[in-house]
Chain A
Amino acid sequence: MIKDIKTALLLFLVLAVMTGLIYPLAMTGIGQVVFPHQANGSLIRQRGHVVGSSLIGQYFREPQYFWSRPSATSPVPYNGAGSGASNLGPNNPVLARHVAARIKTLKAADPAEKGPVPVDLVTSSASGLDPDISIAAALYQVPRIAQAGGIDIVTLRHMVQQNTTEPLLGFIGEPVVNVVKLDLALHDRYAAAHEATVSPTKGPPS
């Protein structure tokens, strides 16, 4: 028995060092050398500043941007330091109230749109950090953005397409549109247009 306890203690220490220190630190070393972009969070940089991660969604509420899915993180939506879901059951009246309110907000932002709203746009994701929306949810928002942002529909549809990921082999994953990258592209367009109107001497108006 005493011998067993001694063996157990020694073996535990050896295996703990191997699996708890050597293994994760070696993986960190390899990750930092071989996949530095991914291992550090797939960060997007502009002019030396980190403006987000292509894997972590951001919150958008202005009509000229594509809106992400509702997020249940606290204290603010899309809190990248946490993650969280609503955990509301499918028959919970609170869920029905939330969804009804979200549908109302979407309709108010674009009164011309009469069709039913794609469901992922009015339900909160599991992580609260979902960077994607479905293609249906992106196309649903195109008319609103065209009007609010002054970009024609064909260009917008093209931008959506450029930021779409198709499922692997047709069945692994779902077709999705990355809202962070898409809105960043929109943001750059708006910034360029803004610069052009503010100082027209610097370049031709777009």
Chain B
Amino acid sequence: MISTIILTAAVLLLTILLALPLGRYMHRVYAGERFWATRLMGPVERGIYRITHISVNQEMDWKHYAVALLVFNLIGGVFLYALLLAQGVLPLNPLHYGGVPSASAFNTAVSFTTNTNWQDYSGGSTMSYLSQMLGLTVQNFLSAATGITIVLPLVRALARHKTKDLGNFWVDMTRTVLYVLLPLSALFALILMEQGVVQTLTGIVRADLIAPFVSGGKTVLHQMIHVGPVASQEAIMMLGNNGGGFFDMNDAHPFENPTGFTNFLEMVAMILIPSALVFMFGHMVKAKRTAWAIMIATLVLFVPLTVVSEHFELLGNPLLTHLGATQANMASLAGGGNMEGVEDRIGAGASALCGSLATATSTGAANSTYDSFMPLSGGINLFFMQMGETVFGGVGTGLATVLAFMIFAVFLGGLMVGRTPEFLGKKIESFEIKMASLAILVMPLLVLIGTAAAVSTAAGRAGALNPGAHGFSEILYAITSPANNNGSAFDGLSSDTTFYNLITGMAILFGRYWPYLPLLALAGTLAGKKKIPAGAGTLTTHTPIFIGLLVGVILLVGALNFFPALALGPIADQLAPISTLMH
């Protein structure tokens, strides 16, 4: 347990140390400042604007910005859908896969365009290399950049006053890809390759087995080893909070996550940009202390839940001790804890940590099988998503949701003392509260109605692999994850059915775009307001009291909405007495 706690602390500390300069760097990039980075990449950036006829200084109001984003996403989605259907006749397909079936192609296109990366297909045995590169990797970049363009107008609205201008979507998109995502991914891909992540255009390597064996009456002499252009995709899938793996088993596959060190860096990569965005917000709005308050609130929510999850995973499965296995996690011999669905080089503790990070952010990558987690640890994964991706949250969308929650918190604070609430100098009035509430409450509605629909229909219930309360958890997870654009799964559920393709596809679309419009409308009105100087009665947004209020609001909304469902799933599952299971 101690080494797991040190690991957790190291991941968080390193992330913050890297996020501080990155946040400042991003602030300078989006401000269009001239400094080393823009001097270096400036010619490329200007070249792109020339080809695409974008005028850098033309600002957009919230409606124009929203239309630009939606049109851009729609084009990306249609392109991906077409590419997946046609991959069978296109080049870079060494394993000769046919076109992806249309239902699955639709689900995948929706899922990758929205940064969800819910995968109803098995990665390694469906996608041609062209689809992996020109289809999925492209959307890994663009959907992450889209996430950032969701929060940028909101932050600018708080920084500016008496204006309609919220920035230029095309410029924001270009700068995010060019200055932030591409260089970070290239650097990260190099480190991953050095550690053993594959990067080749070869399809399969044939190995002569060291010890041939007999399986199903046939002697197996060879092992076919699937390789591919993995490192380039792995890097952006973690940095961009995408999480859709190259191979079936995602981040648990040794070619995606070959060592303890890659696992460490991949965990940092998941929370790096969400954290940097918080500090960028501090620079842009000139509210560094409020930025730290967000960071601290995040850690207050993240650390205790994660430690509980790690604890139960390291404790192991009492059922297996009963059967005669030892699960002691000895520092020198290792291999202890709940090891079903866990890789030895990663270990049970780091798997629980990775699970928390992947569900707290919208990454959804998995270096272990969450379905086989101890019930409470799996339940904590669920709860991280159900808090609306506010704890670190997705790239961009996380901070946007936190800002909505903060507006909600100052409103509550204002109610308590009977004053008109203000947030960073902006008066919060009924329109803002309506928009913030809409942005926050769409997700619980989707999850609860979706889960109810799934458990009350035969088609929904048919998907579950595990019996009893755990089966219910599988279904709850399958609706929660797409609705939060997370994409991780309790993989036992058979989700490539018409029912689940339809319901998850809808949850993804509504979960992504429904909160988006109220958030942008919120940005629109906030930008138009004047900044009023803080007075004696202003609720400051960087005090411990405010951090407590923010944490309370996030917990309350999550808990009130989802505790009944969690009690029926993970909590009931954890409490199931072993005696009833042994027969």
Contact = CB atoms under 8 A, between A and B. Distances in A.
A85 B252 contact: yes
Contacts of B337: 119
Contacts of B142: 12, 15-16, 19
Contacts of B174: 11, 15
B341 A18 contact: no
B371 A87 contact: yes
Interface in B36-75: 48, 51-54, 64, 67-68, 71-72, 75
Contact of A80 (B4, B225, B342, B345): B225
B3 A130 contact: no
Interface stretch (B23-31, B319-327, B419-427, B431-439): B319-327
Contacts of A163: none
B225 A56 contact: yes
A50 interface: yes
A9 B182 contact: no
A65 B325 contact: no
Contacts of A92: 466-467, 470
A134 B326 CA distance: 12
Interface string B301-317: 00000000000000011
B581 A20 contact: no
A179 to B, nearest CB: 10
A174 B48 contact: no
Contacts of B134: 16, 20-21
Contact of B343 (A9, A23, A126): A126
Interface stretch (B254-262, B391-399, B527-535, B546-554): B254-262
Contacts of B170: 7, 11
A20 B10 CA distance: 33
Contacts of A35: 193-194, 199
A187 interface: yes
Interface residues of B, number: 135
A6 B142 CA distance: 17
B372 interface: yes
Interface stretch (B147-155, B157-165, B362-370, B401-409): B362-370
Contact of B201 (A28, A58, A100): A28
A89 interface: yes
Given A1-B67, A9-B75, A127-B253, A51 B208 contact: yes
A39 B225 contact: no
B351 to A, nearest CB: 8
Interface in A70-103: 75-93, 95-96, 99-100, 103
Interface string B560-583: 000000000000010010000111
Contacts of A61: 211, 213
B292 interface: no
B333 A134 contact: yes
Contacts of A155: none
B125 to A, nearest CB: 6
Contacts of A88: 340, 371-372, 465-466, 492
A19 B229 CA distance: 13
A176 B350 CA distance: 14
B441 interface: no
Contacts of B137: 19-20, 23-24
B225 A81 contact: yes
B226 interface: yes
A135 B333 contact: yes
Most chain A beta-carbon contacts within 10 A, residue among B173, B231, B334, B468: B334
B71 A4 contact: yes
**Contact residues of B: prevailing secondary structure:** mixed
A14 B48 contact: yes
Contacts of B225: 41, 43, 52-53, 56, 80-81
Interface residues of A, number: 110
Contacts of B210: 51-52, 58, 60, 65, 180, 183-184, 187
Interface string B321-364: 10111110010111111111111111100110000000000000
Contacts of B199: 27-28, 31-32, 35, 39
Nearest to B181: A19
Contacts of A6: 53
Contacts of A60: 210-211, 213
Given A31-B200, A38-B194, A83-B124, A171 B6 contact: yes
A171 to B, nearest CB: 4
B492 A83 contact: no
Interface string B112-150: 000000000010110000000111011001100000000
B245 to A, nearest CB: 9
B190 interface: yes
A91 B211 contact: no
A110 interface: no
Contact of B197 (A38, A49, A53, A174): A38
Nearest to B176: A15
A84 B248 contact: yes
B322 to A, nearest CB: 9
Contacts of B197: 38
A65 B41 CA distance: 55
B325 A32 contact: no
Contacts of B202: 40
A80 B259 CA distance: 18
B207 interface: yes
Nearest to A39: B199
B325 A69 contact: no
Interface string A154-177: 000000000001011011111110
A167 B261 CA distance: 9
B138 A85 contact: no
Contacts of A91: 319, 375, 466, 468, 470, 573, 576, 581
A145 interface: no
Contacts of B336: 118-119, 134, 136
Listed from nearest, the 3 A-B pairs whose CB atoms lie closest are: A173-B260, A134-B335, A126-B252
Given A90-B340, A118-B326, A172-B7, 5 more contacts: A38-B197, A116-B321, A119-B327, A135-B332, A135-B334
Interface of A: 1, 4-12, 14-16, 18-21, 23-28, 30-32, 34-35, 38-43, 49-53, 55-62, 65, 69, 75-93, 95-96, 99-100, 103, 115-120, 122-137, 139, 165, 167-168, 170-176, 180, 183-184, 187
16 contacts: A4-B68, A14-B52, A27-B231, A40-B198, A50-B208, A81-B224, A88-B371, A103-B325, A117-B325, A118-B336, A119-B316, A127-B253, A134-B344, A171-B7, A173-B259, A175-B332
